[in-house]
Amino acid sequence: MGLSRRAYAEHRKAFGLPGTTDMAVRKAIQAGRITLEADGSIDPARADAQWAASTDSAKRRQPKRSGTRPSEPKAAPAISEGSDPIGASQGITYAKARAANEALKAQRSKLLLQQLKGELIDRQAAVNHVFDLVRKERDSRLQLPARVAANMAAELGVDAHKMEQLLHEVIRDHLARLSEVKIELGG
């Protein structure tokens, strides 16, 4: 047999926990934040755990402090890919979901700040820039035979048209081999 609502409220008061009135306990039961035993009593250990798991700490009333400065906000934990920030394997609680949301907001703000400082660049813009540079290099190499074939043919004493065709073929083969290289950018 557990405790009555009033006794459970006294229990919470004795341990310095919120919800120290009969009405607060009654509201917690009605909201489904804590469950009753089969006989209608309250198991204090189980109810304390349920209460803590379902409480939104941001909505809790903070005791008034006179003459003290508010504490600095704690840094949000980093969330890595593949991690379980909200404990989905253990069941999602409001507090865990809110903590995960705050951590994501902090990471988004950090990335935005890094981008504004110039420490991060847009991935698609970088890929497009590299593509344009490589295309310009390819076009430059393809124009090379027309520019140098006549001078090379004159120095070697061969037909200029044949020299241009040979250079063009060699450069195209070289570019074809380069195009087989696959680049993985990750992500």
| pLDDT score recorded for residue 73 | 47
User: Burial level of 8, CB count in 10 A (0-12/13-18/19+)?
Assistant: buried
- Global pTM exceeds 0.75: no
Alpha helices in 15-122 (DSSP H): 22-30, 44-53, 94-116
pLDDT digits (tens, 9 = 90+) for 126-159: 889 998 999 999 999 999 999 999 999 999 999 9
Which amino acid is present at 168?
H
Please tell me the distance from the alpha carbon of residue 67 to that of residue 64, in angstroms, as a whole number: 10
User: How far apart are alpha carbons 167 and 98 in whole angstroms?
Assistant: 66
pLDDT in tens, 36-75: 988 889 988 888 888 888 877 666 666 555 554 544 445 5
Nearest-10 crossing angle of helices 44-53, 5-14: 70
Q: Which two tokens stand for residue 85?
A: 């920030």
Confidence at residue 184, expressed as pLDDT on a 0 to 100 scale: 78
